[in-house]
């Protein structure tokens, strides 16, 4: 089901980021969305008091490839099949797509970032691993430029970029907070391996406003940590 949920070009299910079909009611909209209400390992979270642990930073093996930029009605999504993979302690996960949230869904020690990117990966068993990247306002982001220039304003719109290297979006430091969580949209499927990069990258105020002009707010509120632990490499 995870595969299907991420592969659909546009999700026509009746959920939104505000109003009667907003996050607080996702679990009531459809029986398949029950985990949005009852799940105990839901994402996003406010990352607090992470335990230091001697594990390696996330290892990225991305390469340039043709990608498509889609407005799926909930976010801007960059489909990037055959663009590389990440290596985690549990094995290799292939990059499937990237999408953006304003503001970033994860918080770090209570801090909210104006934009976040989720880099979604899947392994041969169909398990998901998501790497989250925080953006803060500052310098113009040249790696983001072609993606944001291609953003379709209307839901269902799609554009193709001849070549993009997703690695260019990443900070030099690949250290990350790691924890188990869920998809941050319905059906809120759990069992997702999360790695939130500790180092943010910058984008210009104009770039941030370009995204907000399409999606002013598309973030799920933070969820209870419950009994989970969060570890960070050192």
Copy the structure tokens of residue 26: 């996702």
In the block, residue with structure tokens 């990069």: 197
Are 155 and 127 in contact by the 8 Å Cβ rule? The answer is: no
Maximum pairwise Cα distance, the chain: 45
Structure confidence at residue 13 as a pLDDT band (50, 70, 90): low
Spell out the residues 6+ positions from residue 172 whose beta carbon is closer than 8 angstroms to its own: 199
Dihedral sign computed on CA atoms, order 17, 18, 22, 24: positive
At 182-234, the pLDDT tens digits run 999 999 999 999 999 999 999 999 999 999 999 999 999 999 999 999 999 87
Q: Which of 3-17, 147-161, 220-234 has the lowest mean pLDDT?
A: 3-17
Burial of 180 (0-12, 13-18, 19+ CB in 10 A): middle
Taking the CB of residue 172, how many other CB atoms lie within 10 A of it? 6
Beta strands in the chain (DSSP E): 46-47, 51-53, 59-62, 65-71, 76-79, 84-88, 91-101, 107-108, 111-112, 115-122, 128-137, 158-164, 176-182, 190-197, 201-203, 231-233
CA separation, residue 13 to residues 4, 31, 102, 225 (Å): 13, 12, 21, 27
CA separation, residue 152 to residues 5, 31, 204, 224 (Å): 21, 32, 20, 34
At 96-125, the pLDDT tens digits run 999 999 999 999 999 999 999 999 999 999
Average per-residue pLDDT for the chain: 93
DSSP SS3 for 170: coil
**pLDDT at residue 6 is higher than 70:** no
Are 26 and 37 in contact by the 8 Å Cβ rule? The answer is: yes
DSSP SS3 for 11: coil
Catalytic residues: 74
- Residue 234, pLDDT score: 74
């Amino acid at each position: 089901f995870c595969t299907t949920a991420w592969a659909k070009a546009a999700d026509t299910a009746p959920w939104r980021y505000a109003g009667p079909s907003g996050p607080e009611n996702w679990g009531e909209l459809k029986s398949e969305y029950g985990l949005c209400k009852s799940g105990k390992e839901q994402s996003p979270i406010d990352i607090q008091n992470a335990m230091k642990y001697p594990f390696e930073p996330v290892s990225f093996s991305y390469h340039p490839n043709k990608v498509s930029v889609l407005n799926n009605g909930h976010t801007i999504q960059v489909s990037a099949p055959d663009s590389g993979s990440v290596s985690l302690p549990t094995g290799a996960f292939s990059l499937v797509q990237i999408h953006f949230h304003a503001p970033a869904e994860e918080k770090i020690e209570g801090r909210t970032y104006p934009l976040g990117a989720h880099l979604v990966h899947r392994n041969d068993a169909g398990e998901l691993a998501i790497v989250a990247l925080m953006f803060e306002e500052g310098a113009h982001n040249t790696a983001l430029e072609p993606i944001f220039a291609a953003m379709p304003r209307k839901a269902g719109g799609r554009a193709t970029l001849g070549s993009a290297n997703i690695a260019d979006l990443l900070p030099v430091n690949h250290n990350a907070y790691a924890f188990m969580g869920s998809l941050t949209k319905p059906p809120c499927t759990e069992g997702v391996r999360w790695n939130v990069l500790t180092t943010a990258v910058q984008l210009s105020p104009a770039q941030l406003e370009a995204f907000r002009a399409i999606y002013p707010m598309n973030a799920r509120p933070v969820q209870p940590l419950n009994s989970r632990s969060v570890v960070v490499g050192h």
